[in-house]
Structures are given as structure tokens and as C-alpha cells.
């Protein structure tokens, strides 16, 4: 005995198809956001390395105890207990 085929109404099918499209779209957007986040993290690492490269000659020129104000460019000595170059805003 053959089973009778039952179909969704056009409206029911359209609603499910639309929800499936939305679901897939969200999955793609989430994947894109993860990729973008990874790219930003990589870029941040590159900027940190570039900062270190710029910092080294400044330490040699102004001393390891120098503090640089990034707003004014003024270089000042900092106390001896912290021997790292520090750049402030």
C-alpha cells in the first residue's frame, strides 16, 4: 500500500525557506566577523612590533629612563627604579 504524499502549503514552504536563508546568512556573517577579528589581532601585533622598532633608537638617544609625552613630545627623566622607556599620552 503506497503512502499518500503530503506537501506543505506554498506559504509554509516560503516561510521555512526564508528562515533557512536568514540562518545561513547569519552563519556567514559570524564567520566573516571571526576572520576580521583574526586579521585585526594580526595587525595589532604588527603595530606593536613597529612600535618596539621605533622605541629602541629613542631609548638609545634619550636613555632607558626617559618618558616621552606623546601629546607634546617632551622627554623627561623618570625615577631610576624603573629602567624602561615609557611613552605617555
* Confidence at residue 37, expressed as pLDDT on a 0 to 100 scale: 97
**What pTM value is reported for the model?**
0.61
* Confidence at residue 80, expressed as pLDDT on a 0 to 100 scale: 62
Range of the domain at 25: 10-88
* Confidence at residue 77, expressed as pLDDT on a 0 to 100 scale: 85
What average pLDDT does the chain have? Answer: 90
Contact predicate 85/59, CB 8 Å: yes
User: Number of structural domains, the chain?
Assistant: 1
- The average pLDDT across 78-86 equals 64
Contact predicate 84/66, CB 8 Å: no
Q: Is the pLDDT of residue 36 over 90?
A: yes
Q: Is the pLDDT of residue 79 over 80?
A: no
Which H or E run includes 55? helix 10-62
Amino acid at each position: 500500500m503506497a503512502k499518500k504524499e503530503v506537501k506543505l502549503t506554498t506559504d509554509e514552504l516560503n516561510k521555512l525557506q526564508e528562515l533557512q536563508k536568514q540562518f545561513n546568512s547569519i552563519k556567514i556573517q559570524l564567520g566573516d566577523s571571526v576572520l576580521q577579528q583574526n586579521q585585526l589581532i594580526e595587525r595589532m601585533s604588527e603595530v606593536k612590533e613597529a612600535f618596539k622598532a621605533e622605541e629602541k633608537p629613542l631609548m638609545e638617544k634619550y636613555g632607558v629612563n626617559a618618558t616621552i609625552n606623546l601629546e607634546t613630545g617632551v622627554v623627561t627623566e623618570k625615577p631610576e627604579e624603573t629602567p624602561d622607556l615609557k611613552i605617555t599620552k
